[in-house]
Amino acid sequence: MQCRNCGTEIADKAIVCYRCGTSTTDPVRAPAPLKRRRSPLLSFVVAALLVLLALYLGQASRTAVDPGPWQIGAGVLVCAAIVVVVVRLVRKR
């Protein structure tokens, strides 16, 4: 049998050419496809917007007659921002 790459005579049962190292057969398995990674910028922009909105609601609760719902909304937005950042950091690993 001859090597496909360099033409050297090699044994019929050879797996690779001893001269150039080229495989004598096609690979049995295809390589795993690479997953495209998303940019972390989007997650941090969303978290920053949530924090800014929470700050706005916190400020609005100071001038509101009933500050309870405004403060609850601000707390929920801060928690959502923390969840976005934590999920992004966990998925990164």
The per-residue pLDDT for range 21-60, each reduced to its tens digit, is: 988 887 778 888 887 776 778 878 888 888 888 888 888 8
Helix (H) or strand (E) holding 87: helix 68-92
Report if residue 18 sits inside a domain: no
Full residue range of the structural domain in which residue 71 is found: 41-92
* CA 18 to each of CA 2, 13, 28, 49, 59: distance values in angstroms, whole numbers, following the listed order: 11, 12, 20, 61, 75
Helix (H) or strand (E) holding 48: helix 41-63
Q: What is the pTM of this model?
A: 0.51
Report if residue 13 sits inside a domain: no
Report if residue 32 sits inside a domain: no
Report if residue 1 sits inside a domain: no
* Number of domains composing the chain: 1
Report if residue 33 sits inside a domain: no
% of residues, the chain, pLDDT over 90: 2
Report if residue 27 sits inside a domain: no
